[in-house]
Structure 1
C-alpha cells in the first residue's frame, strides 16, 4: 500500500495510465488525479494514457479536455480502438470480408469508414461481427445474433475488451468485452484488442520513444494489472474502481489477485500525489 505517487515517483521514468476509473468515470476528472498529473509533469515523467476505449485517440483527446485534463499533462493517448484500426488497416483482417454485423453505441458509426467495412442488418448477411458497443443494454439482447453467427462460423472483432466500466453515478455498465466473452464461450473465435494484449504495450513503448522503467496504473486486475504483468513492467492497482465492492483490506486484495492470477506491485485507493 502506498500513500501516493510521491512514494514511488523516483523509481519510474514512464507512467502508463488507464483512463476510466483512474482519471475519471465518464464525468469530470477526479481532482486528485489532476494534481497527480501535475506532479508527474513537474518531475518530467513520460505520461501516456492507455485506454480500453473502442474510440480512436482523437476522441480521447477531446474527452479528456472536456473532463478538465489539459493536453499538456500527458504525452499521448493510445486506445484499444487504435489497436484494432491498425490491424484492419494493415490487412490483418482482410480474410474476414467487409460485411460487418456492427454492435455499437448508438452514436458511433465512424469506425466503419476507419476500417473500410460496411454494416449489414442481420447475422445471416454478415461475414464477421464488429463489436464496438452495447446499445441494446445487456449481453442477453445479443445472444440470438451470436448463436446464428457461431453456427455460420463467423469471427468476432472486439474494439473494447472491458467487461464493465464505472459510470459517473458509480454504477457498472456492460462493455463490449462482455459480448465477446459470451461469444467465446459459445465456441466462436474472438480477436481481442487493447489491454491485456502484449501487442498494445509494444505499440505504447514505440509511441513514447521507449522507457527504462515503466509502471502501469489501473483499476482492472483482468486488464491493467494482467497486461502489465504480461508486458514485464510494474503495476499500481487502484482499489476504488470496478473491484471496489470486493475490497475491504489487504487480504481481500490478495484474494482477488489470486483469483485473476495477477500480481500488482503496489496498490492505492485513488490515483493521487
Structure 2
C-alpha cells in the first residue's frame, strides 16, 4: 500500500518560488510503503501558536550556537517561545557545571533570564559523586583516573573528595570529562592523544573498574567542525568489556532531573536537538516529542552545505530509516519563521 501523504500550507513568511519548489519536491519524495510519521517544519511558530508544550528541553551546541557564535535567529526564536508562556530548559551533554553554561550563553548574546534552568551532564556527574545518594555511586572508591580537557580548559574536581591518580593500576574508577588530557596528582594535566587514552582504558578494562562518562556525546559541532567527545571513549571502553555509567542524554537521569526541576510531565515537554542518537532517541525512550535540527552534527550526511538550508529529503529519509530513530518534527535550524509544513510517513 502506498504512503498517505498529507501536505498542509501554514501561515507563510514567504511565498517565493523557492518555497513552492520545496513544497512540490517533498510531495514527490514519498510514494512507497511507510509506517512512521513525522512532520517537516520550516520553523517553530506552529508549535507555539497556540502553545503545544509547557516545557522545551533545548540542546545548545548545534541548536542555539556552534560554540563560537549564536546561530542567526536563535535569540529571537527563544524570546518568541518564552513569550508563548513555555519554560525553556537547556539540557546539555556538557562536561561542565550548569553555571559555566549560563556564562557561555550570556557571552554569546543570550539573555540568561529567558531560561528557567540549565541541566548539564557535568552538573549531574558532580552532584552524584558529591552526594553519593545512589547505591552505585556510594560503592565507588575515591581514587580516579581523570580524563579531561587541556586546550578547552580542565574540569575542576573541587568538593568531590577524590584522589586523582596517574597510574591506571591504582585507580578505583575512570572519570571522563574530556578527550585531550590526563589529570595529574598535583592538579595539573598532561596532554594525551586518543591512542594514549585508549591504551590507558585497556589497562583499566583488564582490572575490571568502571568508567563514568560526564559527557555522553560522541562528537560535537565546533564552528562547523566535529570534535571527538567523551562518549566516544565510553564506546571504546564498552568494546573492551568495561562497564560505563553515562550521565546525560539519551539516558533517563537527565530527563528525570528536568521533570524534577519543572514539575511538568513528559507528555507536556518537547526535546530539541541535532543528534539523532542523543537528543531524539532520548526523547523517544522517555515518550517525549522531539524536534530534530538537521543542520547540526548530521549536516554533512544530509547534504546541507550551509546553515539554514533544507536537508536533501532522500538523505533525510535514508538516515532516519538507517538509525531507526524517529523524530516528531524536523527543521533545518532553530528558527521561528514557518514556511510550509509537510507530513509524510517513514518505514522501519
Bucket of the pairwise TM-score, normalised by the shorter protein: over 0.9
C-alpha contact 2:54 2:264 (8 A) present in aligned 1: no
Q: Choose the corresponding residue for 1:18, options 59, 71, 78.
A: 59
Q: Give how far 1:14 is off.
A: 1.4
1:183-222 to 2 correspondences below 5 Å:
183-211=237-265, 213-222=268-277
CA RMSD of aligned residues (A): 1.5
Measured at CA, do residues 124 and 259 of structure 1 come closer, stay the same or move farther in structure 2, by a change above 3 Å? Answer: same
How far 1:167 sits from its partner (Å)? 0.8
TM-score of the superposed pair, with normalisation by structure 1: 0.95
Among 119, 129, 133, the alignment partner of 2:164 is 119
Tell me the SS of whatever aligns to 1:96: coil
Q: State how far apart, in whole Å, the 1-side matches of 2:124 and 2:228 are.
A: 21
**What do residues 83-140 of structure 1 show as CA deviations (whole Å, max 9, x unaligned)?**
2222223323232211110000123241x22432121112112111111001157532
Cα displacement (A) at 1:257? 2.0
Shifted more, 186-195 versus 85-94: the winner is: 85-94
Secondary structure of 1:47's counterpart equals strand
SS at match of 2:175: strand
TM-score, normalising length: structure 2: 0.75
Quote the Cα distance in structure 2 between the aligned partners of 1:2 and 1:114. Answer: 45
Q: d(CA) in 1 for partners of 2:193 and 2:269?
A: 36
SS where residue 203 of structure 2 aligns? helix
**1:129/1:156 contact within 8 Å kept:** yes
Once the two structures are TM-superposed, the CA of residue 143 in structure 1 deviates from its matched residue by: 1.3
Aligned to 1:175: 229
Counterpart in the other structure of 2:185? none
Instruction: Find the counterpart in structure 1 of residue 219 from structure 2.
Output: 164
1:259 lines up with 2:322 in the alignment: yes
Q: Identify, as 1 or 2, the structure richer in helix.
A: 1
- Judge conservation of contact 1:28–1:66 (CA < 8 Å) in 2: no
Alignment match, 2:280: 225
Partner of 2:46: 7
Q: Radius of gyration: which is bigger?
A: 2
Unpaired runs of 5+ in structure 1?
Answer: none
The separation in 1 between residues aligned to 2:96 and 2:79, in whole angstroms, is 26
Q: Secondary structure at the match of 1:172?
A: strand
Inter-partner Cα distance in structure 1 for 2:101 and 2:248? 15
**Partner residue, 2:25:** none
The equivalences for 1:33-72 within 5 A come to 33-72=74-113
Q: Aligned runs of 1:150-161 on 2, under 5 Å?
A: 150-161=205-216
Comparing 135-144 with 171-180, greater Cα deviation is found at 135-144
Contact map agreement 1:139 1:178 (CA 8 A) in 2: no
* Corresponding residue number in structure 2 for 1:240: 295
* Alignment partner of 1:82 is 2:119: no
Q: How far apart, CA to CA, are the structure 2 residues paired with 1:114 and 1:261? A: 41
2:180 corresponding residue in structure 1: 135
1:138·1:174 contact (CA, 8 Å) conserved in 2?
no
Query: 1:45-81 CA distances to partner (integer Å, 9 max, x unpaired)?
Result: 1110000001110111111101111111211100111
1:13 Cα deviation after fit:
1.8
Give 3-state SS (helix, strand or coil) of 1:243's partner: coil
In structure 2, distance between residues paired with 1:139 and 1:255: 31
Q: CA deviation at 1:255?
A: 2.1
Q: Choose 219-228 or 246-255, whichever is displaced more.
A: 246-255
Separation in 2 of the partners of 1:203 and 1:27?
Answer: 28
- Alignment equivalent of 2:154, drawn from 94, 108, 126: 108
